[in-house]
Structure 1
Amino acid sequence: MKKIIYTKFGGPEVLQIAEVPIPAVQETTVLIKVKAVSLNPLDWKIRNGEMKLMSGSKFPKGMGIDFSGIVEETGTAVTQYKKGDEVYGILDVFKGKALSEYIIAAEKDVAIKPRNISFEQAAAMPVVGSAALQIFKTLVSLKKGTEILINGASGGIGMFATQIAKTQGAVVTTVVGDIGVKAVKDWGADFVVNYNNEDVLKGGKQYDIVIDLSGKMPFSKAKQIMKHSSAYVHTAPGPKEIISSFFINLFSSRKYKLLMLKPSPEYLTELRGYVENGFKIVVSKVYPFQSFEKAYTEVSNGKFIGKAVITMDDLNNK
């Protein structure tokens, strides 16, 4: 089978196709024929060598964290799935390896694919959907009337965070560029700030929660628009943010929260429920497997709505 690997840290140019054996199923795992794989910023941060402490430096490494596909074989102790089931799921966040014709996944790391969406849409859900759920379940509390600002809301996490917050009765303000305005309105945002036309920091409004998804609104700026008792969420923290948050939280009523993604089987089930009840999943870029280098080059540089995925159709149809 074909699998994308790399044998040294670097840009998209280090990626290559390898021919490897189809992995063997174990007692509590399932063999999945992959249909689509999502692209996430964590993919290229690991590939670039920015996350060595968590990912390690042992090669070769694979690419891809979340996926959708069809169950090919199950281990003897697997009870929830059978051959032919359409599933989606998430592999080890720092080891990945989903970008392959076939993968092995633990039974607990997959769930039945929502029946009303495509494989491409399903692959786009696990990482960003789990991140949004984790923010609201473990970092901040939502209730009816909570004023929340989502900066950089037109990407994957913003897509879920906006819709989840609305189900909880929050009042959601999103900050996006020109191409994101229609999408966040479709997702239910109450107010939309187009950063090309106005500066949200000068709008005079204060919020209970500020979530920065763009990496362009640090706590030092966000606190200008935060209420006295409020929370700021950083979704891609490094050592600097970890240290800063510790000291800020000691002395300030404006809390600095860090998202360290910890996937959960319950999140996958909850996400399926949301999607089957009408959540919108936007996949604005779909690349064939053979265009993997182009995909990682464009997506890491570009501005797009929702998510981008790599489909395996050019391999599956051969």
Structure 2
Amino acid sequence: MTGLLVQLNKSTNMRKVIYRQFGDESVLEVTEQAVPGIEKDQLLIRVKAVSINPLDWKVYGGEMKLMSGSTFPKSVGIDFSGIVEQTGSAVTRFTAGDAVIGVLDVFKGGALADFLVVKESDIAPKPANISFEKAAALPVTGLSAIQIIDQLAAVSANQEVLINGATGGIGVFAVQIAKKRGARVTAVVSTKGVAEAAKWGADTVIDYTKQDIKLLNRRFDAVIDLSTTLSFNQAKILMKPKAVFVTTLPSPLTLIYSFVNNLISGQKLKVLIVKPTIEGLNTLTNLAEAGLQIVLDKTYSFTNVRDAYREARRGKLIGKSVIVLD
């Protein structure tokens, strides 16, 4: 521990991305701040990579004010990979030098920094068989996929599942996990994602540029909209009488509508609100160690953070984009 403290004392400052008002990527700025100290139940993590999530720009764009609040400055970055730099006296599961993955409060962020402070419940061991870049892409979208498939849609063997936006960050994992649960998966993708979705195990792959899914003469037990291009009302024609529709847009209006609808209709509307748990993180690491495919579209340097978010927000990615700290 002494050696680590000496190393930290050589440089007491770090880089951290913050924003002081809501807006587009131009509000993001790289600042220099003091390396934070830790309490006895906390760990200091040297961050290696941070993934980009759609929730990031929804928060810094001001779409989630009710959840994030309007007090500035605010921080960016939810899930990360890194190395334990220092541990508090009450920490028992990790020691300095351990490689980890983790996830922060989804509405507060703060992972885009050279160092960050976490509790043991925020992190899990990094799978040894994947890189730090791939590990950073795992927590938020992986946890989202598990929550959608196992809890919201409650997918089981032989069910018919439609995944719209199947090559995005969540979709990569949702296809694979739904197949592990024994479902028959129909993946809706762009032309460049057709081969990828088939590789992940989708039984049927639909290129939305060539076929309108709303005209499909099929009915599904679960319709999962990850691209936010299909409304619940539009999806009803694709749903069996007792089917579930899952959306990833947790607006207050949608939450109210889902509550009312689910009281009176057999066709249920479920809204994803990511709830990270240590059990979920451990499930993800086990899946990764067992061969879960993690797809990176592009990696960026810390100094190109604005470009990274700007390009990610334009969409059309296969998998995730990641910012690498050097």
TM-score, with normalisation over the residues of structure 2? 0.94
Structural mapping, 1:248-263, within 5 Å: 248-263=261-276
- State which of 225, 245, 256 in structure 1 corresponds to 2:258: 245
1:300 aligns with 2:313: yes
Name the CA distance, whole Å, in 1 between partners of 2:116 and 2:250. 29
1:36 shift after superposition: 0.3
Residue 161 of structure 2: aligned partner: 148
- State which of 198, 202, 205 in structure 2 corresponds to 1:185: 198
**Does 232-241 or 292-301 show the bigger shift?**
232-241
- Would you say the 8 A contact 2:155–2:222 is kept in 1? no
1:66 shift after superposition: 0.2
1:62 aligns with 2:81: no
Name the CA distance, whole Å, in 1 between partners of 2:144 and 2:275. 8
Name the CA distance, whole Å, in 1 between partners of 2:70 and 2:257. 27
Residue 34 of structure 1: aligned partner: 47
Name the CA distance, whole Å, in 2 between partners of 1:61 and 1:117. 31
Structural mapping, 1:152-163, within 5 Å: 152-163=165-176
- Output one character per residue of 1:180-217: Cα deviation in whole Å (capped at 9) or x when no partner: 11221121111001001111221211100000001111
1:237 shift after superposition: 2.1
1:258 shift after superposition: 1.1
Residue 7 of structure 2: aligned partner: none
Structural mapping, 1:103-114, within 5 Å: 103-114=116-127
Name the CA distance, whole Å, in 2 between partners of 1:234 and 1:13. 29
- Output one character per residue of 1:220-248: Cα deviation in whole Å (capped at 9) or x when no partner: 11010101111101112212211221222
3-state SS in 1 of match to 2:34:
coil
What percent of counterpart residues are identical?
A: 51
- State which of 288, 296, 308 in structure 1 corresponds to 2:301: 288
1:302 shift after superposition: 2.9
- Output one character per residue of 1:3-23: Cα deviation in whole Å (capped at 9) or x when no partner: 111111111111111110101
1:167 aligns with 2:175: no
Structural mapping, 1:1-318, within 5 Å: 1-313=14-326
Name the CA distance, whole Å, in 2 between partners of 1:200 and 1:257. 20
3-state SS in 1 of match to 2:313:
helix
Letter in 1 for 2:135: A
Name the CA distance, whole Å, in 2 between partners of 1:143 and 1:251. 24
1:290 shift after superposition: 0.5
Name the CA distance, whole Å, in 2 between partners of 1:143 and 1:46. 33
- Would you say the 8 A contact 2:49–2:80 is kept in 1? yes
3-state SS in 1 of match to 2:70:
coil
Name the CA distance, whole Å, in 2 between partners of 1:56 and 1:145. 43
- Output one character per residue of 1:257-311: Cα deviation in whole Å (capped at 9) or x when no partner: 1111111100110001111111100011100000001101111113110000100
- Output one character per residue of 1:29-51: Cα deviation in whole Å (capped at 9) or x when no partner: 11010000010111111101111
1:28 shift after superposition: 1.2
Residue 3 of structure 2: aligned partner: none
3-state SS in 2 of match to 1:20:
strand
Name the CA distance, whole Å, in 1 between partners of 2:194 and 2:215. 19
Residue 316 of structure 1: aligned partner: none
RMSD over aligned Cα atoms? 0.9
Name the CA distance, whole Å, in 1 between partners of 2:58 and 2:241. 34
Name the CA distance, whole Å, in 1 between partners of 2:70 and 2:254. 23
**Which sections of structure 1, spanning at least 5 residues, go unmatched?**
314-318
Name the CA distance, whole Å, in 2 between partners of 1:302 and 1:254. 30
| Structure 1 segments of 4+ aligned residues over 3 angstroms from their partners | none
Name the CA distance, whole Å, in 2 between partners of 1:62 and 1:250. 38
**Which sections of structure 2, spanning at least 5 residues, go unmatched?**
1-13
Letter in 2 for 1:152: G
Name the CA distance, whole Å, in 1 between partners of 2:199 and 2:182. 16
TM-score, with normalisation over the residues of structure 1? 0.97
**Does 248-257 or 270-279 show the bigger shift?**
248-257
